[in-house]
Amino acid sequence: MRPYILLSMLILPLAVFSQSLQHRFDSVLQGYHQQGQLEGTVLVARQGKIVYTGQFGYANRQFKVPVTADTRFPIASISKMYTAIMVLQLQEEKKLDIDQPVSAYVPELLPSINARISLRQLLVHSSGLPSDKVPDYTTQSIKQPGAFIRNNVKDTLLFTPGSRFHYNNVDYILLGAVIEQVTGKKWGQVLQEKILTPLKLTSTGIVTQQDIIPKLAYGYHNYTYGPGTAMDTLHNDEARYLENYATAGGLYTTAAELFRVDQALYDGLLLQPASLTEMYTPVKELGFLKYARGFTALGSYVNRLSSIKPGGDLTVIERRGNILGFNSCLLRCVEDRNTVIVLCNTYTGNMEKIGDDILRILYNPPTHAHIKK
């Protein structure tokens, strides 16, 4: 048999499989879009290679500006992953130790009762600090994390630090103050130097209320979380100083640039192997978190999902983000180097369900009979 004939016989099934995979993604995701439950952008990668991208709906509904591949979305708490990366980078540089108390770096910032909280407890939301409140983001712009903490954190604890899990944006805003203290730079500059510039991310930055950010999606909401319909009324997001979320939720990006961060973690461009192991290790002593479907870790959650992968459970590093109409998820199957990114600007879809449906397609390839059809 001639070599080029043999090569074509090998390539053709792969091409047909790829087309079938794209068709299956399109069919499911268009279904969600037509039901009014998906507006935004989706990126799926298999073994580090992008196998699907899709855009749905409008970045601006008033002027009917469609979502495109380079539309930028506020990613809310997915920002916490970037903060965890920066903190671990600074630990690698011996500028901090995550097992040291916060008071070792910002001794006068927290009230005295909170002095024993460690950086690790902030990273896994076991600090015991009280939660932030909506007025903290609607009254004025507070661009410095330290100023936010001084204005909004009181001399109180909800529980003994390290004893249980309590999700809290304040934990990660405080980490931003530590980053600024140990580097002598604004956290945005540290982000630029350690992540954005090395990875050449030009469509990632900090959302600020007063700035005009090119290609930034508008937010819309009705908080149906999945069971709504395309006929439901959407409302404009109210003005909010997203920059106050800072290192807890102040970033915007595109699907492609979030994917570049995902790949950089695999390729050792951001963190050393020991730091990656530390970031991915679930903190089981804080208990299983039903809403997160797994255990807390540094900047993300470690889940084991059933009914997704044939022959066993699937380990997923999961990070979601939501604020107002912006609703996003990042699913990282590190054992297989598979990635799912969904960035939305309407709070109408169930990210957990959409993400799981994408993973089922990825892990359950069509049969030969299906491919032939």
Neighbours of 315 (CB within 10 A): 18
For the whole model, what pTM was predicted? 0.93
Q: Are 126 and 228 in contact (CB under 8 A)?
A: no
Tokens of 263: 């790949």
φ/ψ (deg, to 5) at 22? -60, -40
pLDDT band with cut points at 50, 70 and 90 for residue 3: low
Residue 255 has pLDDT above 80, yes or no: yes
What fold is seen in the domain 81-189? Beta-lactamase (3.40.710)
- Please spell the DSSP secondary structure of 188-233, one letter per residue: HHHHIIIIITTTT-SS-EE--TTS--TTBPP-EE----SS--TTSP
pLDDT of residue 367: 59
User: Could you tell me which residue, 20 or 265, shows the higher pLDDT?
Assistant: 265
Domain ranges for the chain: 36-79+193-372, 81-189
Q: Is 347 helix (H, G, I), strand (E, B) or coil?
A: coil
pLDDT above 90: percentage of residues in the chain = 77
Checking if the pLDDT of 246 tops 60, the result is: yes
Q: Which residues neighbour 27 within 8 Å (Cβ) at sequence distance 6 or greater?
A: none
For the chain, how big is the Rg over CA atoms in Å?
21
DSSP state at residue 118: B
CATH code, 36-79+193-372: 3.40.710.10
Name the least confident of 28-32, 50-54, 291-295.
291-295
For residues 191 and 85, give the distance between their C-alpha atoms in angstroms, rounded to a whole number: 10
* pLDDT above 70 coverage of the chain, percent: 93
Q: Where does the pLDDT of residue 12 fall: very low under 50, low under 70, confident under 90, or very high at 90 and above?
A: very low
Residue in the structure block whose two tokens are 């990042």:
330
Q: What interhelical angle do 273-280 and 79-92 show, nearest 10?
A: 140
Q: Residue 126 gets which letter from DSSP?
A: -
Domains 36-79+193-372 and 81-189 are alike in CATH topology: yes
DSSP H helices, 65-168, are: 79-92, 119-123, 145-152
Rounded average pLDDT over 47-51: 97
pLDDT at 236 over 80: yes
Residue 371 in this model has a pLDDT that exceeds 80 = no
Euclidean distance between CA atoms 361 and 367, whole angstroms = 12
